[in-house]
Amino acid sequence: MEWFEELYGNTGIKIRVREKMVDFHSRYQHIQVFDTYDFGKMLVLDGKIQLTERDEPFYHEMLVHVPMFSHPSPKKVLIVGGGDGGSLREVLKHDVDDVVVVELDEEVVRVSREFIGIDRGAFDDPRVTLLIEDGIEFVRNAGERFDVMIVDGTDPNPYSEHIISEEFYKMCRKISEIFATQSQSPFVQQDYFSTMLRNISRVMDVRVYVNFVPTYPLGLWSYMLHSPSFPDLEELRRRFEERKVEVVHYNPELHVASFALPEWLKMVVEKALKG
Q: Are 77 and 148 in contact (CB under 8 A)?
A: yes
DSSP 8-state code for residue 95 = -
Helices assigned H by DSSP within 71-165: 86-91, 106-111, 135-141
Q: Are 178 and 67 in contact (CB under 8 A)?
A: yes
Binding site listing: 29, 60, 84, 103, 134-135
Binding site listing for spermidine: 60, 84
Binding site listing for S-methyl-5'-thioadenosine: 29, 103, 134-135
If we measure between CA atoms, which residue out of 266, 250, 258, 260 comes closest to residue 211?
258
How far is the C-alpha of 162 from the C-alpha of 196, rounded, in Å? 11
How far is the C-alpha of 170 from the C-alpha of 60, rounded, in Å? 24
Q: Which of 55, 119, 152, 155 is catalytic?
A: 152
| E strand or H helix that includes residue 240 | helix 233-243
- For 46-140, strand residue ranges (E) read 48-52, 76-81, 98-103, 128-132
Catalytic, 98? Answer no
Catalytic residues: 152
